[in-house]
Amino acid sequence: MASVALKDVSKVYADGTHAVHSLDLEIEDGEFVVLVGPSGCGKTTVLRMVGGLEEISAGELTIGDRVANALGPRERDIAMVFQNYALYPHMSVFENIAFPLRAQRANRAEVKQRVESTARLLGLEKHLRRKPRNLSGGQRQRVAMGRALIRQPEVFLMDEPLSNLDANLRSEMRGEIIKLQRELGVTTIYVTHDQVEAMTMGNRIAVLRDGLLQQEGRPQDLYQEPDNLFVARFIGSPPMNLFRAVLQVADGKVVCRLHGDELVLPEGYLDRRAALGRYVGREVAVGVRPEHLRDARIAPEHPRLRGEALLVETLGAERQVHLRLPAAAVLTQEVLDVVRDFDAPAVEELRAAGDDRQAEAIARFDADAEAAVGDTVELGLVAEKLRFFDLDSGASIK
């Protein structure tokens, strides 16, 4: 196993596209790091640069103790699982898995023994003679994993390996990949644009946007303490709710003035958040996770806000209430970039509405909470969990 270090790594394509900007990222031996971000953010380019499939324009890549910039893919001792698996269609499952060993000119008996043990590990023993086209999506995915595993490489690279599977299979395979990685302890870089995968799989997450690293750290840290509006909005499902508010101080208390309502924060709030003091009198973006928007009848101790229920989704264990808040929406470029990733046409619509657009939010209520469409819902906001962001820079105010 080996560590991987990217120092000031950039990628500029021949047409001038700057895909990755001065990326610094260290992946420790045996660590599982997830690169996440919307389409076109440069995450696959980073992976391909580590794999030797893309030249590094500037900076230094180290795998183990070797500088790998000039090494070809076969000299890097890495294995890669591709998004569409790239199984050789003319070869059987056995031959696909055996391919890396044959390239190493391993002897027949060893190839047979290792392919069979890898197939056993992945539950593919019965399919060894079949061609990839006769396998289900999940089985193909396993074959691709097998081909990567068999060589016992220093580093695993995985490029959205689950994106072609249906939801059930995806969650099953997610578990299997995590288990395998823990068992084998191979350093793994995993690319995805599904933030649920990012949250559940990695020891660490690195969020990219337009080729720039936005934040990296443990999944929980990114969720709770996002560095900027982009990470706040990208990590979490449903995402962090955002609205605009002007900060004011009245009678020693911080008041967030919204359009038509106000949110009074507890006394001494500014003492615990010194940086927020500089924003008094200015407009900021306020962020709150859906689980920190409570039903005020059940949790009366929190600062309150009124919202109008637009949609109520009953999910068994909880109810997700979609609300319109008496505040303006946050439509900065960071937020629009996240929206664009899953609903591109909506971006124009949001942009057209401009500052007049009211903020919408999703609250996670208990399953027995009462809320119906059209109701005015009294919300309790967990003050300690509120996050504040600079509207100009998008940076978190900590």
Q: Binding pattern to other proteins, positions 237-266, x when CB under 8 A?
A: ------------------------------
Structure tokens at 63: 């795998």
Residue 338 interacts with other proteins (CB under 8 A): yes or no:
no
Which residue lies nearer to other proteins by CB, 11 or 292? 11
CA dist., res. 196 & res. 238, Å (int): 10
Taking CB under 8 A as the rule, does residue 85 contact other proteins? Answer: yes
E strands in the chain? 4-12, 18-27, 32-36, 58-63, 66-67, 78-81, 155-159, 187-192, 204-209, 212-217, 241-250, 253-257, 262-264, 283-288, 293-295, 304-314, 318-328, 358-366, 376-381, 387-390
Q: Measured from the CB of residue 144, what is the shortest distance to other proteins in angstroms?
A: 9
Can you tell me the distance from the alpha carbon of 193 to that of 212, in angstroms, rounded to the nearest whole number? 15
Phi/psi at 322 (5° precision)? -90, 130
Total residues contacting other proteins by CB under 8 A comes to: 27
Nearer to other proteins by Cβ, of 1 and 299: the residue is 1
Distance (Å, whole) CA 360 – CA 271: 30
CB of 135 to other proteins, least distance (A): 10
Kindly state whether residue 13 participates in binding other proteins, applying the rule CB under 8 A: no
x/- binding map, residues 17-56, to other proteins, per CB under 8 A?
----------------------------------xxx---
What does R_g of the chain's alpha carbons equal in angstroms?
A: 24
**106 sits near other proteins (criterion: CB under 8 A):** no
* Minimal distance, residue 117 CB to other proteins, in Å: 18
8 Å CB contact between 330 and 361: no
Nearer to other proteins by Cβ, of 85 and 223: the residue is 85
* Tokens (6 digits) for 88: 């050789």
238 preceded by a cis bond (ω within 30 of 0): yes
Residues 152-211 close enough to bind other proteins by CB under 8 A: 157
Task: Identify which of residues 114 and 292 has a Cβ nearer to other proteins in the complex.
Answer: 114
Applying CB under 8 A, does 314 fall inside the site for other proteins? no
Of 151 and 209, nearer to other proteins (C-beta) is 151
CB of 105 to other proteins, least distance (A): 10
The pair of structure tokens assigned to 20 is 């990755």
Q: Residue 23 or residue 78: which is nearer to other proteins going by CB?
A: 78
> Please, are residues 379 and 307 in contact by the beta-carbon 8 Å criterion?
yes
Residues that bind other proteins (CB under 8 A): 51-53, 72-74, 78-80, 82, 84-90, 99-100, 102-104, 132-133, 147, 151, 157
